[in-house]
Structure 1
Amino acid sequence: MAMSSILNADDIKKALDAFAAADSFDYRKFFDMVGLKAKSSDDVKKVFKVLDADNSGFIEEEELKFVLKGFAKDGRDLTDKETKAFLNAADKDGDGKIGVDEFVQLVTE
C-alpha cells in the first residue's frame, strides 16, 4: 500500500521539505503536517503497516532510521540522534521497538 493512498501527496512533500536538514525532525510536527494526526486510528494503523518494512508487527530502530522513506522514496534517513529520540518517545514499554498501539498513541498525543 502506498502512503499516498492514505495521505495527501502534497502534504507529504511539504512535510519532507520542512525537515530536510539533518537533526531537524520533529515527529509531532511531521505527523501534523502530513495530516496523520487528523486521521482515524485505522488509517494510522495502515501507516504503521507501511513503515513496518519487515512485517514483524513492530517498527524496530533500524526501520525507524528510514521512516521518512516510508512516506516518500526521496525522504532522507534520520540521524542516529533523531532515531533514538523518536524511539524513546514512542517506546512506552521499553522493549526497544514500537508496537502498533504505541504508534497510534504517539501520533494522537
Structure 2
Amino acid sequence: MGKDFLLEINTEELPAGYVKEALESLSAGFIASMDLKPGALSANLATKNKLILYVEGISEKTEEVSQEVFGPPKRIAFDEKGNPTKQAIGFAKNQGVKVEDLKIKKTPKGEY
C-alpha cells in the first residue's frame, strides 16, 4: 500500500503569467522523475507564492534500475597483461563499482 505525498514549494512572488507554466513544468518533471503514470497526481495547485503537488498512494520504494554503461575501450582500459590502467580505475570509481566488477563487451565498434 502506498503513502500520501505532499510537495509544497514556497517561492518569491511569481509573475501571474508564469504560475501556470511553473506548475505544469514541476508536475511533468515530478511525474517523469518518479516514473509515475500520467494522471497520477491527485492535485496540483499554485498561488503566486506556492507550488503544491499531492499524490495519493505513491509507492514507498521505486523499482531497482539496472543500466549498462560503456567505459573506455579495452585497449585503453587494460594493459597487455590484463591489468587495469588509470582509465579503467577512474571509470570504475566514477561509476561507483569495483574494478573487478568491470566486464568486457564486444560491440560493432570494438571491445569495451
Report the structure, 1 or 2, having the larger strand content.
2
Instruction: Tell me which structure has the larger Cα radius of gyration.
Output: 2
TM-score by length of 2: 0.25
Report the structure, 1 or 2, having the larger helix content.
1
